Amino acid sequence: MKRFTVALLALLSTLLTGTASAQAPETADLTSALQRIEQLEQQVDQLSIDQGSIIQAGYQLSGASRCSGSCGADPAVTCGSSICGASSNGVGTPNLYATYDRGFVLRPYDATKTPFEMKINSWFQLRHSVLNSDGPNPDQNDIEFERSRLIFSGFALSEYLEYFLQIDGDDDQAQRLDVLDFYISYDVGADQLGLDDGRLSIRAGRWKLPFNRTRYTSGLNLQFADRSMSSVFFDIDRSVGIGLFGKEELLGKTVNWETAMFNGIRTNGLRPGRQGELDRNLGVSGRVFSDLIGDWGTDEESDLSWHDELAVRIGAGFAFSREDASDGPAEFGRVLVVDSGQTLASALPGADEYNLFLYAVSADMKYQGWSLMSEYYFRSVSEISGAAVPDLLDHGFLLQTGYFIVPERLEVMARWSRIVGNSGTLGMRDQSADEVAGGIACYFKGRNLKLVFDATHVNSSPINDRAVGFLPGDDGMLYRTQLQFLF
């Protein structure tokens, strides 16, 4: 091949110098021709060397060689899907690489040498809501981003020190960005005590407090467009605090547990620091759950993965806080009553303190496309100071079922939730509120791309929750069509 190339170059050279012109003699000097060929061979060899040097330099400059296992000395240069760090000999080695693994991920080649990982996810729920009101509140017909989330998660400084940051910008907040969750979790058991991973961990920051199953389930994994009326009423929401969580083996089953101490029940968004919003009493809560039969998996409410064997999960939770109006009137006014939805503070004129206890138990099952969710709630208001009223008790439940008529694609579901209690009448008699709903969901790419339509009839709503779509006193039919997209 090389000789052929040289011969072509010799012919071109001859043509260019006119040695093949009509005036030249037809017989060339053989020795001169051979010398000319030898010179051209040397030139081709030199060109090959120069070309290799140029290619190698460009290969290193572009970072391709670093992605293959070696790189230059600049630790800040990203090479394709790798980021290099300088070594002692001045030649860098790849520390991190970028990939897609259910989210954009920046991951270390060796986590013991580079203890850092970041995953970025984003998801939204675009919803059309129509409320035909039969009560005192007006009708509704609008389109909104109910949830618009950006999530950063991973570990830093150590594989056992994880972080989670979730930013929300839904239309309920006039598109204002809000740090919804931000916490760190440290697996102290595995890192310091020689325990198995996940046995004992510490969490600090703002997150969904451990209590009922429905609230702890991400909005991504709900069957319906949103949570039930009863699960929102008996909810303690998010708060800033510190907690412990882990798992233990008991009677051959894994029992997951979590407990937390925090600013107070339903205090998300309230300002600390003697600004008249939070009182000085901290709240506590806890939750345990276990897979009694089979493996529940990660599907949460729907049997999207189609359990061939029966799976049953049971759980329980509690929460307690002492509410004090004297130094935390905003927190004191967060608790609502049945069935008007007015605040307990306004229903208890003169009251300045009370104990707030909440309890929840749940039992859920999945089998061959079927799912059944059940949860019962209790709330007690006791030791009321400043008002001559007895202890108040509210309770309620959630029953919800679904079935995939087309496996992994098309699901139908139904729900009934109910709240009963005497908090609205200050112990004189019980009042109630009901929600009955049905819907259908289409999973195009699992939960990453999902379309759901549901219709809900509600009477005497006691909740004020724009995400669910209910205001205090709502009566009527609520129709929701929601597109969910996650990447």
Q: What is the pLDDT of residue 60?
A: 40
The domain 101-486: what is its CATH number?
2.40.160.10
Pair of tokens at residue 447? 């939960």
Whole-prediction pTM: 0.80
Mean pLDDT computed over 467-474: 92
SS3 of 473, please? coil
For residue 355, the model assigns a pLDDT of 96
The mean pLDDT of 338-357, rounded to a whole number, is 90
Q: Could you read off the pLDDT of 158-212 as tens digits, one per residue?
A: 999 999 999 998 777 666 788 999 999 999 999 999 999 999 999 999 999 999 9
- pLDDT at position 177 is 84
**pLDDT higher than threshold 50 for residue 16:** no
**Tens digit of each residue's pLDDT (9 = 90 or more) over 97-147:** 999 999 999 999 999 899 999 999 999 999 999 999 999 999 999 999 999
DSSP state letter for 343: B
What average pLDDT does the structure give for the chain? 86
> Confidence band (pLDDT; 50, 70, 90) for 41?
low
Q: What pLDDT was estimated at residue 85?
A: 56
Residue-level pLDDT at 476: 96
Q: Which residues contact 135 (CB under 8 A, 6 or more apart)?
A: 460, 473, 474, 475, 476
Q: Would you place residue 56 in the very low, low, confident or very high pLDDT band (cuts 50, 70, 90)?
A: very low
Which has the higher per-residue pLDDT, 174 or 435? 435
What average pLDDT does the segment 400-415 reach?
98
State both tokens at 305. Answer: 């993965």
Per-residue confidence (pLDDT) for residue 171, from 0 to 100: 76
* pLDDT tens digit sequence for 352-395: 999 999 999 999 999 999 999 999 999 999 999 988 899 999 99
Decide: 476 and 113 in contact? Cβ < 8 Å: no
- Contact indicator for 289, 324 with CB cutoff of 8 Å: no
- pLDDT > 70 fraction of the chain, expressed in percent and rounded: 81
- pLDDT tens, 287-338? 999 999 999 998 899 999 999 999 999 999 999 999 998 888 889 888 999 9
d(Cα 487, Cα 485) in Å, to the nearest integer?
A: 7
Mean pLDDT of 422-449: 96
pLDDT at position 467 is: 87
Predicted confidence at residue 61, as pLDDT, reads 37
Mean of pLDDT values over 19-35? 53
The pLDDT value recorded for residue 348 is 85
User: What ranges do the domains of the chain cover?
Assistant: 2-19+30-62, 101-486
Residue 484, Cβ density class (10 Å: 0-12 exposed, 13-18 middle, ≥19 buried): buried
Read out DSSP for 308-319?
A: SS-EEEEEEEEE
Type of residue numbered 49: I
pLDDT tens-digit series, residues 415-432: 999 999 999 999 999 999
